[in-house]
Amino acid sequence: MKLIIKGGLVVDPVAGSATIKDILVVEGKIAETGANLSAGGAVVLDAAGRLVAPGLIDMHVHLREPGFEAKETVYTGTRAAARGGFTTVACMPNTNPVIDNAALIRSIINSARTGGLVQVCPVGAITRGSRGEELAEMGDMAEAGAAAFSDDGMPVSNAGLMRRAMQYAKMLDKALISHSEEKSLSAGGSMHEGYISTILGLKGISACAEEVMVARDILLAEETGCRVHIAHVSTAGSVRLLQEAKARGVRVSAEATPHHFTLTDEAVMGFDTNTKVNPPLRTGADLAAVRQGLADGTIDVIATDHAPHTAEEKDVEYERAPFGLVGLETAVGLVWTELVNTGVLTPLQAITCMTLNPARILGIPKGTLEPGADADITIIDPALAEVVDPAKFASKGRNTPFAGRMLKGLPWLTMISGRIVMRGGVLEEENQQQ
Amino acid sequence: MIKEKAQILDQEGIRRSLTRIAHEIIERNKGTDGLALVGIRRRGVPLAGRLAERIMDIEGHRVPVGILDITLYRDDLTTLAHQPLVRSTEISFQVEGKIVVLVDDVIYTGRTIRAALGALIDLGRPKAIQLAVLIDRGHRELPIRADYIGKNVPTAKKEEISVRLQEIDGEERVVILETPD
Amino acid sequence: MKLRGKDMVGLRHITAQEIELILNTAEAMKGIINRQIKKVPTLRGRTVITVFYEASTRTRTSFELAAKYLSADTVGIAAATSSVSKGESLKDTARNIAAMGADVVVLRHPMAGAAELLASTLQASVINAGDGAHEHPSQGLLDLFTAREKKGRLEGLKVAIIGDIMHSRVARSDIWGYTRMGAEVRLAGPSTLIPRDIEKMGAIVCENIEDALAGADVVNVLRIQTERQQQGLFPSLREYSRMFCINRERLGLAAPDALLMHPGPMNRGIEISPDVADGLQSVITEQVTNGVAVRMALLYLLIGGGAR
């Protein structure tokens, strides 16, 4: 089985280049890249005018399995990923039960193998049950295939415990993903604390609730030498802390979400529960700092924090609604519309944030177009424009604040190990059924 | 386009009508004892004031004057294109036991007067209620008639009577307007 | 003239002209309350449903009386907070209300935004009778009405609001209303109970209570919930009272003819001393009467006719 992707602008984050050339895929692997490639019997895929990148990686996704299958499953979540142009996702362990042991890691990997459409890298819990009391068996989980560790959503509040977790994770050479939130500062809050929360009468979550923990985990990373990844950076203060830490050589990385670089707390004005997310949508100054952080490399990764919920759960009073919004199927469109088309990031920077950088943090051999690598490839059509319609989502979750928004620059094709799984916004399995 | 068809009363005409009505009121009630005037908003209000002055001129006695707002008693609120403004009813005297003369500019279907009767009776139990209007244009839809009439004007339904008073309109005359079909 | 919206969920989006219209209409309504037969036939055949997820006898009674004076039928649904926790969603309640054919739904709810959620679901008009710490427009309007009635104007008035601003929906509605009408609003209270950036609403945050009271024409004292102390927002009720209680001496800092208001119910001796609460400057009981008039005005203006 041979396939040539012809004439696309190949964005190669490893080489740091974006050039028009061809890619030859043989038996699910990248065989060769270069100009005017040809191979007998190869299927030719015309990518002229489009952008060819390594398969996109979303290192922050909630697949909700096991325990919350009404919100999402590995089956539906990975299809949402494929539709969104992602070939690999890392899924968070805040399921029921919490993914805090090797058996559960294996069960996720199995689920993904049997019913999943894209590669799934499970993230294991730092502490048992994410209760923040005692370390989970991180060694066993690492051996079973855990890509990183996090108590996402239930941050480790005990600094001593977090320090030990970092020492331990360093031994395993795994990154700890810090959901940076000081619960005593955020408790009861449902949006950013500021003018908008004041006029809406909603309890706020101050920027400090995040920054205090970012600072703590940077200091602990500095002391332990562990690789720490700050999830969903949302404030200007966090960006500044990261900048200073990186300048000192601390092994810290960070991610930002499309909603944090697109929306501010003003989006909450109509009490749309689809704007309720943790960390909350912040101010215009925070949004600008996050964009600047992505542009200057302070923030390494774009990840979605894809957090599906059922319509019933979201169709309630703002304070009662759960945090989270879906992101897999709008991410590329938002990156292009908000960052690339506006000149904040070059296509190469954007692609690097969604491929090579998360691959390195997770320690997986992805995010590259080097010969011999798995032929995980995403083709983006920068001219393709569409209004976000949640009814078209493959995800079970429809909880997006972006419905009705026009996005330009969309994933056109997703290929996993040489197999096309999505084309023109439609999953290939659906194309075949028709 | 609404166009003016004819003038029915000029300034003098209005003055004479009111003077006559004042006399009739005094005559009918044998003086001013227990008498009170209540003007229906809007144009009944200045008319009631003027009647009170005429009565003062004639009898040397000032009868109490009140203002009635009937908006909350209207039976056509749900069908109106525009929501009418609610204004205060200003009746500072007890209506209980009084002979109240309701004053309005035009009587037409009788529905305004029905509402006014309801509004007035909710304020207490007058001894009697009488009605004075400057113009009676006919077309009654309810069994209501005026006791004192300045002028009877037969009209077609598509016509409209416009009473213009100095206090409200800056001029003093009564005209028939015609709205084309 | 007519209100622009189908609902009354807050004063933030209400124009000065609309406030003027409501207050003028309320003036006429007050005339009805003051007479012997307190009933007009205006809303005959209309139904007003009050849905209270928080107990509030005063506000609920005020709305029910307002509806009855206008001849509307009223039904009360006491939706205990427990049914919220049991999972009966507000939307389900809304569907039931719609099925009952209400013309107006009056909602009191412990969570901000509940009235907007209900309004977006229902064809009926929704009046927010207090949603969390968001807004309580009819209370704001009755405060404005009382101030205007006594002072003859709102423009240029100095209004001091004292106490727990953070959790107060009354404070928010008052700030929108007074500032829109050209009054100056000053706030004072424990710094832990002054919400972030509230000065951007157009109010002046005072460092101390004396600055807020100096020369004020209206002093509005907010109720302090004892649970705020349990939440650790201030050290003790005793200290709160010592620092923020409006007593004769503090009221003396305001203009000599200043009006003293309180949205009720009062904690006498904590946020307000009994002698001033019952003193000559107190208009607290008149606020209650005016509340009925303002609510009558709202009911009339929302469903009293005129094609939308």
Chains that touch B (3 or more CB pairs under 8 A): C
Q: Which residues of A are known to be catalytic? A: 305
Q: Which tokens hold the place of A275?
A: 């704007």
Q: Do A320 and C111 touch (CB under 8 A)?
A: yes
B-chain CB neighbours of C35 within 8 Å are: 122-123
The per-residue DSSP string of A193-223 comes to SSHHHHHHTPPEE-HHHHHHHHHHHHHHHHH
pLDDT of chain A, 434 residues: tens digit per residue? 899 999 999 999 999 999 999 999 999 999 999 999 988 889 999 999 999 999 999 999 999 999 999 999 999 999 999 999 999 999 999 999 999 999 999 999 999 999 999 999 999 999 999 999 999 999 999 999 999 999 998 999 999 999 999 999 999 999 999 999 999 999 999 999 999 999 999 999 999 999 999 999 999 999 999 999 999 999 999 999 999 999 999 999 999 999 999 999 999 999 999 999 999 999 999 999 999 999 999 999 999 999 999 999 999 999 999 999 999 999 999 999 999 999 999 999 999 999 999 999 999 999 999 999 999 999 999 999 999 999 999 999 999 999 999 999 999 999 999 999 999 999 998 877 65
Whether B86 and chain C come into contact, CB under 8 Å, resolves to yes
* Structural domains in chain A, sorted by start: 2-52+373-433 (2.30.40.10), 56-362 (3.20.20.140)
In this prediction, residue A432 carries a pLDDT of: 74
Which ranges constitute the DSSP H helices of B29-181?
44-59, 111-121, 166-169
Whether B81 and chain C come into contact, CB under 8 Å, resolves to yes
Taking alpha carbons only, the member of A375, A324, A363 closest to residue A28 is A375
pLDDT of chain C, 308 residues: tens digit per residue? 689 999 999 999 999 999 999 999 999 999 999 988 999 999 999 999 999 998 888 999 999 999 999 999 999 887 765 455 555 678 888 888 888 889 999 999 999 999 999 999 999 999 999 999 999 999 999 999 999 999 999 999 999 999 999 999 999 999 999 999 999 999 999 999 999 999 999 999 999 999 999 999 999 999 998 888 888 899 999 999 999 999 999 999 999 999 999 998 999 999 999 999 999 999 999 999 999 999 999 999 999 976 54
Average pLDDT, chain B: 94
In this prediction, residue A39 carries a pLDDT of: 82
Q: Are A419 and A28 in contact (CB under 8 A)?
A: yes
Dmax of chain C from CA atoms? 55
The per-residue pLDDT for range C46-105, each reduced to its tens digit, is 999 999 998 888 999 999 999 999 999 999 887 765 455 555 678 888 888 888 889 999
**A window 202-231, beta carbon within 8 A of C:** 202-204, 206
Q: Do A317 and C113 touch (CB under 8 A)?
A: yes
Chain C residue with Cα closest to A271: C113
The per-residue pLDDT for range B112-158, each reduced to its tens digit, is 999 999 999 999 999 999 999 999 999 999 999 999 999 999 999 88
In this prediction, residue C85 carries a pLDDT of: 53
